């Protein structure tokens, strides 16, 4: 099996991981709960493996197409936040669900969106090159959006200490290590071999994270399903309306088919596994339900992506303009 084969078959692998995790967690709940301790190290490994694949040292390439970048930033950091604000107004009285939904819906995906874009006949190379910009901007803007959309609840729901700690240890540190590894790989054959070996790991690492997260939380999803019901229409609304934000941005900047589809996929695909550690760092009274809300979005999105890869090539510039 080649790395390309592994990457192009990652979606069915993720579904298998999700199904196995759900079965394991439901039929062996005590063992499933025991996997909770593995979530943080598994996410740290995933972040490092994933960041190694992002061309941070070639940031200018991601800025090469000004129209594409402008459309991508407009969709993800202007149109989508407005959409999310509107969709989540019904959750104002449910702070745990609100913060969970905001965390996941305000952050554009930087990993498997590249694969979905490729399968959906979009410009996956431009999407990959833009990922450092998307990552850095969402990390800067997320606290701003949370402060605006949570309002007076932001100080109560989001305590700075645990949030910043999770952010530093599970996002900033792996990202810095990945940048250092990429830099050293240009000068050392040993580090280059190390980096090449890790290039096989993002898909298995993500499958592992999905397994430990879902196996350890599936009983909570089932137990709290009635509490999660208000957030399901929000996620379904996002699933249907977010592609429109991408299409609108692509039309405003007159993008050709490939890059227009890339913007549409980016606007529609969220960064659930990256923000999960932030949800797990929330205060205890909202942590469990907020993290479960993030996981629920992942399950809904994976199904939605199967629709996107069929619909978007037929809907977004089908004549190949």
Rg (CA), the chain: 19
Fold of 3-315: Na+/H+ antiporter like fold (1.20.1530)
Q: For 75-85, how does the pLDDT look when each residue is reduced to its tens digit (9 = 90+)?
A: 999 999 999 99
DSSP string, 192-207: HHHHHHHTT-HHHHHH
129-173: per-residue pLDDT in tens? 787 788 888 888 988 899 899 876 665 565 556 556 667 777 778
Sorting pLDDT into bands at 50, 70 and 90, what band is 63? low
At 163 the pLDDT is 56
DSSP label of 321: -
Placement of tokens 């019901």 in the chain: 229
Residues 48 and 132: their CA atoms lie apart, in Å, by: 14
Cα-Cα-Cα-Cα dihedral sign, residues 298, 303, 304, 309: positive
pTM of the model: 0.79
Contact 55, 129 (CB under 8 A): yes
**Mean confidence (pLDDT) of the chain:** 85
pLDDT of residue 174: 86
What is the rounded CA–CA span in Å between residue 212 and residue 102? 23
* pLDDT tens, position by position, 249-282: 999 999 999 999 999 999 999 987 778 878 877 8
How distant, in Å, are the alpha carbons of 52, 100, 263, 274, 278 from that of 48? 6, 24, 25, 11, 16
* Helix axis angle, 10-27 to 284-315, nearest 10°: 150
Separation of alpha carbons 138 and 319, rounded Å: 33
CA 85 to chain centre: 18
Bigger pLDDT: 68 vs 42: 68
Joined together, the tokens standing for residue 37 give: 């301790």
Burial class, 155, CB count within 10 angstroms (exposed 0-12 / middle 13-18 / buried 19+): exposed
Greatest mean pLDDT among 2-16, 17-31, 48-62, 119-133 lies in 17-31
How far, CA to CA in Å, does 223 sit from each of 18, 27, 296, 312? 18, 14, 13, 35
Least confident of 126-140, 219-233, 302-316: 126-140
pLDDT at 42: 86
């Amino acid at each position: 099996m080649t790395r390309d084969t592994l990457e192009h078959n990652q979606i069915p692998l993720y579904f298998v991981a999700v199904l196995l995790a759900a079965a394991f967690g439901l039929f062996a709940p005590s063992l499933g709960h025991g996997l909770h301790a593995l979530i943080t190290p598994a996410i740290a490994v995933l972040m490092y493996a994933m960041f190694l694949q992002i061309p941070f040292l070639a940031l200018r390439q991601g800025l090469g197409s000004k129209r594409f970048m402008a459309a991508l930033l407009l969709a993800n950091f202007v149109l989508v936040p407005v959409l999310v604000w509107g969709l989540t107004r019904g959750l104002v009285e449910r702070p745990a669900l609100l913060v969970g939904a905001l965390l996941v819906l305000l952050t554009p995906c930087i990993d498997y969106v590249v694969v979905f874009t490729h399968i959906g006949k979009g410009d996956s190379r431009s999407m990959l090159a833009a990922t450092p910009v998307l990552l850095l901007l969402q990390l800067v803007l997320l606290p701003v959006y949370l402060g605006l959309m949570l309002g007076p609840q932001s100080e109560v729901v989001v305590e700075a200490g645990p949030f910043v700690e999770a952010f530093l240890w599970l996002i900033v540190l792996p990202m810095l290590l990945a940048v250092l590894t990429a830099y050293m790989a240009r000068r050392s054959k040993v580090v280059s071999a190390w980096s090449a070996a890790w290039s096989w790991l993002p898909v298995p690492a993500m499958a592992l994270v999905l397994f430990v997260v879902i196996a350890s939380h599936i009983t909570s999803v089932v137990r709290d399903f009635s509490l999660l019901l208000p957030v399901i229409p929000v996620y379904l609304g996002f699933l249907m309306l977010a592609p429109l934000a991408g299409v609108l941005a692509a039309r405003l900047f007159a993008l050709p088919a490939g890059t227009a589809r890339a913007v549409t996929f980016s606007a529609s695909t969220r960064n659930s596994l990256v923000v999960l550690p932030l949800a797990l760092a929330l205060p205890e009274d909202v942590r469990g339900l907020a993290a479960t809300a993030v996981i629920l979005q992942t399950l809904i999105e994976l199904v939605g992506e199967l629709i996107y890869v069929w619909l978007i090539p037929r809907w977004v510039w089908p004549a190949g303009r």
